[in-house]
Amino acid sequence: MNVTIVRDHDPEATRQILAVLPDWFGIPEANEHYVRAAAEKASYLARVDNTTVGVALLDRHFPMTGEIHLIAVTPQAHGSGVGSALLAAIEADLVADGAHLLEVKTVGASFADEGYAATRAFYQARGFLPLEEFEGLDWDGPTLIMVKPLT
Ligand SMILES: CC(C)(COP(=O)(O)OP(=O)(O)OC[C@H]1O[C@@H](n2cnc3c(N)ncnc32)[C@H](O)[C@@H]1OP(=O)(O)O)[C@@H](O)C(=O)NCCC(=O)NCCS
Dist. CA 46–CA 85, nearest whole Å:
8
The domains of the chain are located at 4-149
Dist. CA 42–CA 22, nearest whole Å:
24
Its pTM surpasses 0.95:
yes
* Amino acid of residue 33: H
Decide: 118 in ligand 1 pocket, CB within 6 A.
Answer: yes
Radius of gyration of the chain (CA): 15
Give the list of residues 6+ apart from residue 73 with CB closer than 8 angstroms, or none: 17, 46, 53, 54, 82, 83, 86
The confidence score (pLDDT) of residue 131 equals: 98
- Report the share of the chain in percent with pLDDT over 90: 98
Decide: 143 in ligand 1 pocket, CB within 6 A.
Answer: no
Band of residue 22 on the pLDDT scale cut at 50, 70, 90: very high
The overall average pLDDT reported for the chain is: 97
**pLDDT tops 90 at residue 151:** no
pLDDT digits (tens, 9 = 90+) for 5-17: 999 999 999 999 9
Decide: 106 in ligand 1 pocket, CB within 6 A.
Answer: yes
pLDDT average, residue stretch 58-68: 98
What's the topology of domain 4-149? Aminopeptidase (3.40.630)
**pLDDT tops 90 at residue 116:** yes
Q: Which atom of ligand 1 is nearest to the CA of 117?
A: 24
Instruction: For ligand 1, atom 34, name the residue with the nearest CA.
Output: 81
Band of residue 2 on the pLDDT scale cut at 50, 70, 90: very high
The confidence score (pLDDT) of residue 1 equals: 82
pLDDT digits (tens, 9 = 90+) for 86-105: 999 999 999 999 999 999 99
pLDDT average, residue stretch 49-74: 97
**pLDDT tops 90 at residue 46:** yes
